[in-house]
Amino acid sequence: MKNHSIKEVDAVVLGAGFAGLYMLYQLRSKGFSTVVYEAGDGVGGVWYWNRYPGARCDVESIYYNYTFSKELYEEWNWTSRFPEQEEILNYLNYVADRFELRKDIQFNIRVNAAHFDEERSKWLIYLNNGSQVYAKYFITGIGCLSAANIPNMKGLNQFKGKWYHTGHWPHKKVDFTGKRVGIIGTGSSGIQAIPVLAKEAKHLTVFQRTPQYTIPARNHFYDEEFIRSTKENFETLKQAMRNSVAGSPHQQNDRSAMEDSESKQQQVFEDAWAEGGFAFAMSYNDLLTNEQSNEKAADFIRSKIREIVKDPKVAERLSPKYMYGTKRQVLDTDYFETYNRDNVLLVDVKESPIDEITETGVKTADDQYELDILIFATGYDGMTGPLFKIDIKGRGGIALKDKWENGASVRTYLGLTTAGFPNLFMITGPESPSVLVNMPIAIEQHVEWIANCIEYLREHDIDLMDTNVQAEEEWSKHCREVANTTLYVKGDSWYTGANIAGKHRSFLIYLGGFDYYTKRCIEIAQNNFEGFTLQKLKTMS
Ligand code: NA7
């Protein structure tokens, strides 16, 4: 029986960030009725939510854009090497207006659940405003890092000051003038915020659990001539990014650090340090596969910390001991220099764990720190976290969370689909190259593949596409095998899920190279979507 009260569309897309906006653009241009649901009151995704002081992208702006439209690339002018959150948000708002995307986006709506209705072979989507919608295709564009991790610390509810998480920052400017500020967490978000906070606040206490390898970003304004030449080279740049290992035109040095003498290594690392950005990560080809090379890079950074930070005890606390790069390498502006300021205190919470949050601040095993504002820069439940926040149920009413055994047994095909959940697509899902590729480029590749796939299904009158169990077993196995050849799997990071108490440890990013991955996706499509079962339904209600 057809339920006439429930609206029907071809596709429901979740999230209006880079992924959701481009998915909408693609599907609409192919004539599919599409609606995007977005929890925020504006577009931008991660760039809508992450408004903390100092928030910036760690990919160079001229590469951190869409490449599907030459005109768009020519129209937009980035002002500096590493774009600020506000500038990226302005860009995405410009995209939404330019392609008239807003009319198909519903803001301030959260999708609570999506259940596959086997009788109708459609997804029934449940919205937090109480209404429902049927969709033939259900597509998630919710990012890999959108489920905030707010540690369950005793006493937080009794804190009389204000507290914030970096990923849910207020839209009104927070004034730190004259305030005693505390920040927990020294990942990318903390390291970007700390130098800015230190300049504004009366006093800043940094609660560090694990020190980080961070490299100077060497941010600077672009000059007009540089921007003009970039635009002239658009086609070359686009091809270079789309056919690269990591979605950027930068080439990795093709040598092992072990092939060079100590003095040559020092020179290579010095040059990369001076260049800033991800040059350091690209300085040798085996920093993430060879422990000896890795140790050389780690030693070099530790020597820089000792050089910059005046107090040797503080320098020692700031020096990471784990393998370089197994947590995402951070880019900073004056991070280590900030610890030379009189108004900044570093507290090592591994030495002296946080006991509780009190009415007036943070109490550790050894001391009490009085605070007016407390900031959680404590990261995210990455990769599976955003998907598990939604009650997604496939065939037989099986929940995605149960199929994947709460993260212990994630199985996908190309990180795009998973068996038993027909017509569900995950943009940059677990086991795709995602966060280890320049995200807008990874997103474009996924979105174009999904849009072309859906168009193929329409052309061939196919109603349902489901993943074969064997295909996903093989992909997941391949994904794990490639990861196990690297040092990434040895690190305690959000990459491995080790940052979340009780989370199963697994490495859910495909490391076989974006170029290889793209070719594989194309081949699969060209072979009439091998690894999928394509089904025509006899009668449609
Ligand atoms: P990250 O990189 O996960 O960093 C979170 C930080 O918070 C990290 O230093 C954690 O220490 C620390 N943390 C987490 N929980 C606690 C508790 N309970 N107590 C003390 N310290 C804690 O998140 P970011 O937001 O900085 O960056 C995420 C990504 O966004 C980044 O990689 C870029 O891709 C963009 P730990 O290291 O786990 O010991």
pLDDT in tens, 69-115: 999 999 999 999 999 999 999 999 999 999 999 999 999 999 999 99
**Ligand 1 centroid vs 209 CA: distance in angstroms?**
9
Q: How confident is the model at residue 5 (pLDDT cuts 50, 70, 90)?
A: confident
Q: Own/partner pairs for 230-233, CB < 8 Å, 24+ apart?
A: 230/62, 231/73, 231/74
Residue 427 has pLDDT above 60, yes or no: yes
Share of the chain above pLDDT 90, in %: 98
HEC secondary structure over 141-177: CCCCCCCECCCCCCCHHHCCCEEEEHHHCCCCCCCCE
Smallest CA separation from ligand 1 atom 6, residue:
185
CA dihedral 378, 379, 381, 383 (to 10 degrees): -160
Would you say the CB of residue 465 lies under 6 angstroms from ligand 1?
Answer: no
Helix (H/G/I), strand (E/B), else coil: 523: helix
pLDDT at 539: 57
Q: Are 495 and 488 in contact, with CB atoms under 8 Å apart? A: yes
Mean pLDDT of 131-145: 97
Query: Ligand 1: does its nearest atom lie under 6 Å from the Cβ of 498?
Result: no
Predicted local confidence at residue 4, as pLDDT:
56
Is residue 326 scored above 90 in pLDDT? yes
Q: Which of 188, 329, 374 to mutate to test the pocket of ligand 1 (most atoms within 8 A of CB)?
A: 188
Q: For the whole prediction, is pTM greater than 0.95?
A: yes
Nearest C-alpha to atom 10 of ligand 1 is from which residue?
185
Nearest alpha carbon, ligand 1 atom 14: 378
Q: Whose CA is nearest to atom 33 of ligand 1?
A: 188
Does the beta carbon of 328 lie inside 6 Å of ligand 1? yes
Residues 403 and 209: beta-carbon distance below 8 Å: no
Task: Tell me the C-alpha distance between 251 and 267, whole Å.
Answer: 18
Mean of the per-residue pLDDT values for the chain?
96
Angle in degrees, 0-180, between the axes of helices 439-459 and 234-242, rounded to the nearest 10: 80
Q: Is the CB of 190 under 6 A from ligand 1?
A: yes
Contact 273, 215 (CB under 8 A): yes
Residue nearest to ligand 1 atom 36, measured at CA: 210
Nearest atom in ligand 1 to 166's CA: 25
Residue-level length of the chain = 541
Ligand 1: residue whose CA is nearest its atom 4:
187
Q: How far is the CA of 418 from the centre of ligand 1 (A)?
A: 29
Kindly tell me if the per-residue pLDDT of 470 is higher than 80: yes
Residue 3's region, left for phi above 0, alpha for psi from -120 to 50, else beta, is beta
Angle, to 10 degrees, between the axis of helix 85-98 and the axis of helix 18-29?
A: 10
Say how many Å lie between the CA of residue 446 and the centre of ligand 1: 27
Is 358 close to ligand 1, i.e. is its CB under 6 Å away? no
Ligand 1 proximity of 378 Cβ (cutoff 6 Å): yes
Tell how far the Cα of 166 is from the centroid of ligand 1, in angstroms: 11
| 3-class DSSP assignment, residue 469 | helix
Between the CA of 378 and the centroid of ligand 1 the distance, in Å, is: 4
Which tokens hold the place of 404? Answer: 């994947």
pLDDT more than 70, % of the chain = 99
Q: Report CA(537)–ligand 1 centroid distance (Å).
A: 48
Model pLDDT for residues 363-383, shown as the tens digit of each residue: 999 999 999 999 999 999 999
CA dist., res. 509 & res. 144, Å (int): 10
- Is residue 54 lining ligand 1, measured as CB closer than 6 Å? no
Cα-to-centroid distance, 212 and ligand 1 (Å): 10
What structural domains and CATH numbers belong to the chain? 9-147+382-529 (3.50.50.60), 149-213+325-379 (3.50.50.60)
Q: Which residue has the CA at smallest separation from atom 30 of ligand 1?
A: 188
Q: Are strands 180-184 and 34-37 parallel, antiparallel or unpaired?
A: unpaired
Confidence of residue 541 (pLDDT cuts 50, 70, 90): very low
The packing angle between helices 291-308 and 262-275, to 10°, is 60
CA 392 to ligand 1 center in whole angstroms: 27
* Ligand 1 neighbourhood includes 500 CB (under 6 angstroms): no
For residue 243, how far is its CA from the centre of ligand 1 (angstroms)? 31
Closest ligand 1 atom to 190 CA? 26
